[in-house]
Structure 1
C-alpha cells in the first residue's frame, strides 16, 4: 500500500515539474519541485498516522496494573461466588488511574452492602443461558464491587505472554439500584438538558423489569469489551497506538476510535453526543439524532459514541434482541404524546457482517 501511494505521488510530482519546465523559468521549476515534495510528504505522513493509529492513554495503566496480570488469577474457581470481590487496594489503584486519565475526581470505596449485592450478581450471572454462560465462565475472571466508581461499571483486561486471555469488571453497587427500564431511560436522558421532551426506553416487559435485569444488561455490555480483546475484534488496549483500519468489524464505519466515516455528511451531530453530560437540547435536536441514527449502521445511540462501544453495544444488542428475543423500544415523548419511536437496530441489513462476527464468537464457528 505504501509503495502504491509513493508511486502515485511520484507521478503527480513529475507531471507538475514537466508542466512548469515547459512554461516557466528555472526558479519556478524549483518551486514546483518543492511543492511536489510537500504533497508527497504530507500524504505519506497522513497515511502512516492512519496506519499507526491514535495514542492510547490507557496503555501504561493496563500494562502495569497487577489486575492485568494472569498470575494473579491462578486457581480461578469455577463458581461465581469465588470470583466476586469487594474493592481491594489493587482494584482501587486501577480505578484511580483510570479516573485520572478520564478527568474524574471520584475515589472508590468498598461497597457497604457487599454480601447482599454479591448474591444479586451471582443470581444474575447464573440466570444467563448457553452459550453466554460458558463464555462468561471462560473469559470473565473477576468482578469487583464498590461505590463512588465514577460510573455504573468499567472493565479491564488480563494478559499472559502478550495475549489477552480474559478480563474483569468493576460495578458500583450504589449506582446500580434502578430497575432495567428506569436505568436505561435515565442513561439515555443523561445526554440532554432539561426540556419539554424526554426519552423513554423499554428493554424488559413489566414482569421482568427488575434490578437484576438492569445488572444483566450492564454486565453483558462490559463483557463485550472483554471479548473485543480476547477475540481480537479491534486493536489491543495494551498497544501504545491503536488503529482500527485492519479490523473488519469497524470497516467503513469508523476511521478511528472517535471519528466515524459519516461525521461530516450524514450524522454531523454524532460527535456532540456525550452521555452523562447534559449538554444537548433534545427539544431542538432530536430530529437530527434519532431519525438519522435509525438509518445509520449504529444499533443504539451509545454505540455511536466511539468504536469500542460500537462493538460492546452491538454484542449486548445481539444477545438481548436476537438471541434472547427481549424487547428494546425507544420513544421520544412530549408528555404522554409519542413523537417518535424506534427499535434497537442490531437487525439492520447494514449490520449483517457485524452480526455474523458475533454469531461466530458465541457459537465458536
Structure 2
C-alpha cells in the first residue's frame, strides 16, 4: 500500500513538474498524451481511443490556428492551458477537462479528435449539422454549412478555448448542479433561465425536439421551418441551444471567424438543387444585439 501511495505521489509530482515546464512554452506547443481520465471516459463509452502523434504538417496547422485566437484567449491559455492532446478513435470532436494542479490556479487539457486536422470548417460543420436530421425521409433535400476552406481545427480550437476562458473568468454562471438557479451574467441575462433551459419566450416546441436539445433526428424536410424558428431567437446555431456554455462558445467562434477573419458562415437548405432557405446567424437582429458583449475578448 505504501509503495502504491509513493507511486501516486511520484506521478502527481511529475505531472505538476511537467506543467511548470510547459507554461514556459507557447500554448500551441504544449502537446501531451491525454489524461487517463479522458481515455477512461471514452473506453466506458465503448470506444478504443489511441494517442495520435502529430506529423510536422499537422503541427504547423496547430500552431497556425493558435496564432488566430483572440487576445483574451491568448492571455488565458498562456496561464491556464495545461496541455492539448490528439486522439484517434475518439467518439466526439473535442473535450475540455480540468487538470489537477498544485495550487488554486485552474488549468485545463483540451483533447481533440485528430481527424479534424484534415477537414475544412465547411466539411466538419456540415457533417455535425446533419446529425440533426433523418435524410432518408426525403433525398431531394440537402443541408450545407458554408464556412470557408480553413482548417476545421481552427473552429474547434476557438470553441474549446472559449470554454477555458469562460471557466476561468466565469463569463457565464457555473452551477454545481444543472437545475440550480443562478444570478445571470451579461451573456445569459434574458436569454437563459437555467444552464440548459432558455427563458420562456425563446422556448419553441419544434426547436425543443432538435438533436442538441436532447431530441432525435428530425425529418429533413422540416429543416426550413427549424431555421425559421431559430431566426426568432438570439442563438447563433442549433448547437448553441444545448446550454449557455455552448451558446457563448458558438457566439464567439462564429463572430471571430466572420467579423475578424472574413470567413463566411451560413446555412443553406436546398430541394432538388434549388435553395429554399438561407440562414446567416450574424445577420439575425437577435444575434446582432449580443455582439457588443464580445468586446471582452478583444480589449486586453
Name the TM-score, length of structure 2 as normaliser. 0.80
User: Which residue in 2 is equivalent to 1:170?
Assistant: 111
User: Which residue in 2 is equivalent to 1:363?
Assistant: 299
Q: Which 5+ residue runs of structure 2 have no aligned equivalent?
A: 1-11
Check whether the contact 1:158–1:168 (CA below 8 A) recurs between aligned residues.
Answer: yes
Task: Find the aligned partners of 2:268 and 2:60 in 1 and give their Cα distance.
Answer: 33
Matched, 1:147 2:88: yes
- The offset of 1:357, in angstroms, is 3.2
Matched, 1:83 2:30: yes
User: Which residue in 2 is equivalent to 1:5?
Assistant: none
Q: Structure 1 residues 302 and 110, CA, compared in 2 at 3 Å: closer, same or farther?
A: same
- For 1:12-27, what aligned pairs fall within 5 Å after superposition? none
Q: What whole-Å deviation, never above 9, does each CA across 1:174-215 have from its counterpart, x for those lacking one?
A: 3543222111111111211123212111112xxxx14xx311
Task: Find the aligned partners of 1:291 and 1:325 in 2 and give their Cα distance.
Answer: 25
- The offset of 1:278, in angstroms, is 6.6
User: Which residue in 1 is equivalent to 2:145?
Assistant: 201
User: Which residue in 2 is equivalent to 1:332?
Assistant: 269
User: Which residue in 2 is equivalent to 1:271?
Assistant: 208
Matched, 1:236 2:183: no
- For 1:210-249, what aligned pairs fall within 5 Å after superposition? 210=150, 213-236=151-174, 239=176, 243=180, 245-248=182-185, 249=187
Which has more radius of gyration? 1
Higher percent of residues as helix: 1
Task: Find the aligned partners of 2:283 and 2:81 in 1 and give their Cα distance.
Answer: 24
Q: Structure 1 residues 132 and 95, CA, compared in 2 at 3 Å: closer, same or farther?
A: same
Matched, 1:321 2:258: yes
- The offset of 1:323, in angstroms, is 2.9
Check whether the contact 2:72–2:296 (CA below 8 A) recurs between aligned residues.
Answer: no
Check whether the contact 1:145–1:172 (CA below 8 A) recurs between aligned residues.
Answer: yes
Check whether the contact 2:233–2:286 (CA below 8 A) recurs between aligned residues.
Answer: no
Return 188-197 or 126-135, whichever deviates more. 126-135
SS in 1 for 2:263: coil
User: Which residue in 1 is equivalent to 2:48?
Assistant: 107
Name the TM-score, length of structure 1 as normaliser. 0.67
Q: What whole-Å deviation, never above 9, does each CA across 1:86-135 have from its counterpart, x for those lacking one?
A: x35xx2323423774xxx32232111555543332123223446565445
Task: Find the aligned partners of 1:156 and 1:346 in 2 and give their Cα distance.
Answer: 33
Q: Structure 1 residues 307 and 93, CA, compared in 2 at 3 Å: closer, same or farther?
A: same
Q: Structure 1 residues 163 and 320, CA, compared in 2 at 3 Å: closer, same or farther?
A: farther
Return 137-146 or 289-298, whichever deviates more. 137-146
Q: What whole-Å deviation, never above 9, does each CA across 1:199-256 have from its counterpart, x for those lacking one?
A: 111112xxxx14xx3110110001111111111122337x356635312221222222
User: Which residue in 2 is equivalent to 1:302?
Assistant: 239
Task: Find the aligned partners of 2:217 and 2:224 in 1 and give their Cα distance.
Answer: 16
Check whether the contact 2:27–2:77 (CA below 8 A) recurs between aligned residues.
Answer: no
User: Which residue in 2 is equivalent to 1:186?
Assistant: 127
Task: Find the aligned partners of 1:95 and 1:142 in 2 and give their Cα distance.
Answer: 15
Task: Find the aligned partners of 2:189 and 2:172 in 1 and give their Cα distance.
Answer: 11
- The offset of 1:82, in angstroms, is 3.6
Q: Structure 1 residues 242 and 167, CA, compared in 2 at 3 Å: closer, same or farther?
A: farther
SS in 1 for 2:191: coil
Matched, 1:96 2:40: yes
- The offset of 1:293, in angstroms, is 0.5
